[in-house]
Structure 1
Amino acid sequence: MELTQLLKERRTVQSFQDREVSPELIMELLETSVWVPNYHMTQPWRFIVVHGEGRQKIAAAIRSMKENGESDPAKKQDVGQKFYDKLMSVPMYVVVVMKEDVNLVVREEDYASTSCIIHNFSLLAWEKGLGLVWQTYPLLYDAGFREALQIQPGEKVVGNLHIGYPAAVPAAKTRIPAAELTTVFDQA
């Protein structure tokens, strides 16, 4: 597939088939994805791959958070179970973690590079028939979630990727043409 076509046809997928994703395939895609610009070559990223029964770690952490956040005792268990079941329906997660540099400039460059990894990964996954959604919900800051996945102080979760074979592919959404968002300076 041509890169132009791949960029235009990739979609965010949130509904997956009940089909396992090969951890070996994910590792192959990650090995290619890390070839991004990284000015200081800090390479601050790491990846947590969660699949199979390991998904229970994420699902249990979210269930607990949702139950603790529910003020109506009669609804606690139902709310928690709803989120647990939803998360267990995702075949695989890749949590992308970045070590936060104390130098703000380096940290911002590292964040940009780590985001590029996620974009590369999404394109490579799409090329192999996989869909994903890049999630950045409040849970990523929850102590229970971070502890369950051994995310250390000084590390930022850049994204939690929900990955699987698409059950449905959404239609393309329109984009504002770049020409409408571009300012050109061609004179002094």
Structure 2
Amino acid sequence: MNVSATIRERRSIRKYKTTPVAQKTIDSLVNQAAALYQADTEEAPQWRSICYDTPEGRHSLADSMIAKVKGSTLGKLLPGKMLDLIKKQVTETPAHLVFIAESGSTQRQRDENYAAVCGIMQNVQLLGWELGLGMLWYTDPMLNSDRFKAEIGLRIGERFAGILSIGYFEKVPRARKRTPAEQKWTALEGDVSGDAAPHRLSSQSGSAHKTASPRVSSQSVLTLLNDAVWAPNDGLREPWRFVYAGDGEAADRLRALDGDASAAFLLVVAKEEPDPHKREEDYAAVCCLVQNFQLLAASGPWPVRRSMPAWIYDAEQCKLFGVRPQERIVAVLALGGDRRPSPSASANQVSPAVNITHC
């Protein structure tokens, strides 16, 4: 896969050919996507998916998707034709993949499971694009109904990550611009201890910023980010921000916190919307951007290790690195250092028989 080109060329697709998508193709895509996901955890992230690729399955899914609207006051006011159009769109799309992050005993574990699902969904989209398969990541609030939860078997503590509607396509929608990473970039400089820490930040392009190691320049990180920002995000909200520490006390503190001797660090931060649905969508979008970055860096001169250390759940620790109110760190990317395999790399190469249920 030409990672850079595919990330930039991929589009959300809403209209598909009637050509069926073979079950073995879907299984292969999910398997490959899971194998590409690398998480720095001792245990493989837990997730599962359900594929609706039969006429009966798609009809059942469609009925559950419109149940909330159909049974509401709004549904009674809407013309029947509108609900029929929604159902027609679902039933005529060749396949739908529902992705679910399984529960965890801690918030950190639950987030790791959810981040893994989002990264795998992005991989499925990229791998599918090279086969001429288009997809739409769907998470409308309309799906928040008992009927839909029962349809997908959502259990207590699990998180619904979204539906990937899948089909072969003919027309590629026009690209919409992304904000350059330089405009969402903050370089940490100097001392990050004490109350003055948030004021010792310099928002800049980073082109002249010196790092602790010549192997990882801020400009090389920005080059990858400017491809990685071509991640799916609803309404092009672009909810991400990047905090870079290449040298000085900021980087030293991160090395101490993470027990990592990497040359530089990139904190990928998400804005937290007041609306819970938008907040979940934005978190997923940032996870996709992180996955893009890791794929782009995989063949590069310096390795990237992704982690979600315990300290990112401590608001006071995050504040030291300039994380603002209504923001959270989604991932800490350690850049450079030793190129070592993720502990969960082999565990993530799962069999579709374990993770995919076909309906």
Mapped contact 1:14–1:132 kept (Cα < 8 A)? yes
Identity over aligned residues, as a percent?
Answer: 25
Specify the alignment match of 1:163 in structure 2: 166
Report which of the two structures shows the higher radius of gyration computed on alpha carbons.
2
How far apart are 1:91 and its partner, in Å? Answer: 1.2
Specify the alignment match of 1:149 in structure 2: 152
1:98-124 Cα deviation digits (max 9, x unpaired): 112130111112221211101111100
Specify the alignment match of 1:56 in structure 2: 59
CA RMSD after TM alignment: 2.0
In the alignment, the residues of structure 1 paired with residue 73 and residue 83 of structure 2 have an alpha-carbon distance, to the nearest angstrom, of: 9
Specify the alignment match of 1:45 in structure 2: 47
Mapped contact 1:62–1:80 kept (Cα < 8 A)? no
In the alignment, the residues of structure 2 paired with residue 148 and residue 72 of structure 1 have an alpha-carbon distance, to the nearest angstrom, of: 20
Mapped contact 1:111–1:158 kept (Cα < 8 A)? yes
How far apart are 1:126 and its partner, in Å? Answer: 0.4
Specify the alignment match of 2:135 in structure 1: 132
Give the TM-score of the pair, scaled to structure 1. Answer: 0.90
1:77-134 Cα deviation digits (max 9, x unpaired): 4343232112112111000011121301111122212111011111000011100011
How far apart are 1:26 and its partner, in Å? Answer: 0.6
Mapped contact 2:68–2:144 kept (Cα < 8 A)? no
183 and 70 in structure 1: CA distance in 2 versus 1, 3 angstrom threshold: same
1:51-74 Cα deviation digits (max 9, x unpaired): 121101111113333221244747
Alignment-mate amino acid for residue 30 of structure 1:
V
SS of match in other structure, 1:37 = coil
In the alignment, the residues of structure 2 paired with residue 59 and residue 147 of structure 1 have an alpha-carbon distance, to the nearest angstrom, of: 13
Which segment drifts farther, 141-150 or 61-70? 61-70
Residue 95 (structure 2) aligned to one of 92, 104, 109: 92
Counterparts of 1:1-188 in structure 2, within 5 Å, are 1-35=1-35, 36-38=37-39, 39-53=41-55, 54-71=57-74, 73=76, 75=78, 77-185=80-188, 187=190, 188=248
SS of match in other structure, 1:15 = coil
Of structures 1 and 2, the one scoring higher in RCO (CA 8 A, sep 6+) is 1
How far apart are 1:44 and its partner, in Å? Answer: 1.1
Which segment drifts farther, 72-81 or 103-112? 72-81
In the alignment, the residues of structure 1 paired with residue 151 and residue 12 of structure 2 have an alpha-carbon distance, to the nearest angstrom, of: 26
Mapped contact 1:131–1:165 kept (Cα < 8 A)? yes
SS of match in other structure, 2:108 = helix
Mapped contact 1:64–1:80 kept (Cα < 8 A)? no
How far apart are 1:174 and its partner, in Å? Answer: 0.8
Give the TM-score of the pair, scaled to structure 2. Answer: 0.49
In the alignment, the residues of structure 1 paired with residue 182 and residue 87 of structure 2 have an alpha-carbon distance, to the nearest angstrom, of: 44
Alignment-mate amino acid for residue 62 of structure 2:
A
62 and 114 in structure 1: CA distance in 2 versus 1, 3 angstrom threshold: closer
Q: How many residues align?
A: 188
149 and 43 in structure 1: CA distance in 2 versus 1, 3 angstrom threshold: same
Which segment drifts farther, 140-149 or 92-101? 140-149
How far apart are 1:163 and its partner, in Å? Answer: 0.6
1:132-166 Cα deviation digits (max 9, x unpaired): 01111124431101212222222211011111111
In the alignment, the residues of structure 2 paired with residue 106 and residue 65 of structure 1 have an alpha-carbon distance, to the nearest angstrom, of: 30
149 and 107 in structure 1: CA distance in 2 versus 1, 3 angstrom threshold: closer
How far apart are 1:179 and its partner, in Å? Answer: 1.8
In the alignment, the residues of structure 1 paired with residue 140 and residue 75 of structure 2 have an alpha-carbon distance, to the nearest angstrom, of: 23
